[in-house]
A and B are shown apart, each in its own frame.
Chain A
Amino acid sequence: GENRSSVRTTADLVAYKNINDVPPPREMMIQVDQKNEAVLLPINGSMVPFHVAFIRTVSSQQDTNRNNYIRIIFNVPGTPFNPHDANSMKFQGSIYLKEASFRSKDSRHIGEVVQSIKALRRQVVSRESERAERAT
């Protein structure tokens, strides 16, 4: 029906409810917080959390100077399987962060981050789609 505002959707997921729940920054590097399903990105000297459910893809690359590049692409309206499209009315007028790319010298760290974001994302997305199925 139309009146389903009480039903929680994926877009209602929240990484942290309180500021002090965010892990204190140790180093300015990408972190994955499994417990809170969050990815923390170092932006301008701060660690900025994003819920993994809003990430669409993550990939990495290495150049000839051993620089590692990691690219995180977020869900935006108009992309397939996007939770926002179901209730995009709610977010009309919003601007979306679509992509963030970082450079790192540490290939092992970047490899680990890519793997753990992918695994965590799979887990959360499948849980959320089961939840959505049960709700209908």
Chain B
Amino acid sequence: MADGHQFNNITLGGRGGTNPGQMKIYSGGIIWKRQGGGKLIEVDKADIMGVTWMKVPRTNQLGVQIKDGLFYKFTGFRDQDVSNLTNFFQNTCGIAVEEKQLSVSGRNWGEVDLNGNMLAFMVGSKQAFEVSLADVSQTQLQGKNDVILEFHVDDTTGANEKDSLMEISFHIPNSNTQFVGDENRP
């Protein structure tokens, strides 16, 4: 291929579930098109802040963080795509790719990491899940130790998930020192 790589079955994940589509990664950036039309994501190379790989069940997930804080997650890459694309990002786009690990241990205790718009729940330095703060409609402090995040309820965005996350809360014990004096922002 002259310029870039094309993939036919790449899922865009996020609030509202997942959507299948087509992806092109080329020297100018990335383009993802929803299957059957409707949604197009085009990111210029210059707007890419960071790229990550994560092994997820049976496949691989590409994370693309862009300048305005948004974080796209594309799933459906084979192991050989990962090494090819890592080289491509590095050599053609000049972007170093970072590797993230997924926690599947099932624990509900760990750490909270904030990166741009994303809040990640980390278990043993692996990521259990992340949510976008752009999807949070309200945060509340309950008592001295609990922080509640309420999510926007959006029925319109082609949501194809059956069960929609409405609210999560975190318990921050007094022994935690990470967020002393900043209790409103987990």
**Cα of A95 to Cα of B171 in the assembled complex, Å:** 6
Which chain A residue lies CB-closest to B167? A101
Q: Residue on A with the closest CB to B61?
A: A46
Name the interface residues of A18-32: CB closer than 8 Å to any CB of B. 18-25, 27-30
The residues in A between 85 and 122 inclusive whose CB is less than 8 angstroms from any CB of B are 91-106, 109-110
Q: Judge whether B104 and A97 touch: CB under 8 Å.
A: no
Q: Please list the residues of chain B having a beta carbon within 8 angstroms of any beta carbon in chain A.
A: 12-18, 55-58, 73, 102, 104-112, 121, 128-132, 135, 146, 148, 153, 160-173, 175-179, 186
**CB contact under 8 A between A16 and B104, given known A28-B160, A91-B109, A93-B176:** yes
B106→A96 contact, CB < 8 A? no
For B171, give its contact among A30, A47, A49, A96 (CB under 8 Å): A96
Write the nearest CB–CB distance from A48 to chain B, whole angstroms.
4
Count A-B contacts at CB 8 Å.
Answer: 169
Q: By the criterion CB–CB under 8 Å, are B170 and A95 in contact?
A: yes
Interface pair B161/A42, CB less than 8 Å apart: yes
Known: A27-B162, A95-B176; 17 extra A-B contacts, CB below 8 A, are: A13-B106, A16-B105, A28-B160, A42-B162, A42-B164, A44-B129, A54-B106, A74-B108, A77-B173, A93-B177, A94-B110, A97-B121, A97-B168, A97-B171, A104-B163, A105-B162, A109-B163
Q: Cα distance A21–B132 when bound, in Å? A: 27
> Does B13 lie within 8 Å of A102, measured CB to CB?
no
Taken together as a complex, chains A and B put the C-alpha atoms of A104 and B168 apart, in Å, by 16
Docked-complex contact B15 and A45, CB < 8 angstroms: yes
Given contacts A22-B57, A42-B17, A44-B131, contact A29 B162 (CB under 8 A): yes
Asked if B166 and A44 sit within 8 Å, CB to CB, the answer is no
Q: Which residue in A43, A93, A95, A98 is a CB contact (below 8 Å) of B165?
A: A43
Measured CA separation A38–B107 after assembly (Å): 10
A20 lies within 8 A of B168 (CB): no
Contact A15 B15 (CB under 8 A): no
**A83 CB to nearest chain B CB (Å):** 11
